[in-house]
Amino acid sequence: MPSVGGRPPRVVSRQVLSEIIEPRAEEIFSLVQRELKKTGYEELVASGAVITGGAALMEGMTEVAERMMDMPVRRGIPSNIGGLVDVVSNPMYSTGVGLILYAVKDHEKKEVKKFADKASFNNVFNKMKGWVKEFF
């Protein structure tokens, strides 16, 4: 296991790591489950949850999540992306890729709305211009 502060790496057994990490994961997933119940969203995600990030790659993490949240859980992997697919097709990058895709779609929506607003303004302006010409 890598160390900090220039200290040499240490060897730590999987058992010790599991004893440290599993209770924290259980705590996090139980807090998520509690929040889902409290907010009423539990029924909306009855088909399951998706976990992302580097920790989602850890052996047994989906099983811990399923046990604590009492629902199916799977790892999220970015999809429908071009370019660096082999680099970002990893749960580690799911959140970042998702935020970028959201920003792109949001920007596209705003551009379409600007165009539609401009088109409708021009349409109204042309109609008004036509009415003025009719009367004068």
Q: How would you class 88 by CB atoms within 10 Å of its CB: exposed for 0-12, middle for 13-18, buried for 19 or more?
A: middle
Band (pLDDT 50/70/90 cuts) for residue 62 is very high
Spatial CB neighbours of 66, under 8 Å, sequence gap ≥ 6: 72, 73
Residue percentage of the chain with pLDDT more than 70 = 73
* 72 neighbors 47 (Cβ within 8 angstroms): yes
- The Cβ-side half-sphere exposure at 14, using a 13 Å CA radius, reads 3
Mean pLDDT of the chain: 82
Distance CA 60, CA 29 (A): 13
**Element holding 74 (H helix, E strand):** strand 73-75
pLDDT value for 102? 83
Distance CA 136, CA 127 (A): 14
Distance CA 111, CA 133 (A): 33
- Which of 34, 30, 58, 62 lies closest to 48 in space, CA to CA? 62
Residue percentage of the chain with pLDDT more than 90 = 38
pLDDT of 94 strictly over 90: no
pLDDT value for 122? 64
Band (pLDDT 50/70/90 cuts) for residue 118 is low
Band (pLDDT 50/70/90 cuts) for residue 106 is confident
Region 27-56 average pLDDT? 92
pLDDT of 29 strictly over 70: yes
Region 100-122 average pLDDT? 67
pLDDT of 37 strictly over 80: yes
Q: pTM of the prediction?
A: 0.64
Q: What's at 88, amino acid-wise? A: V
pLDDT of 115 strictly over 60: no
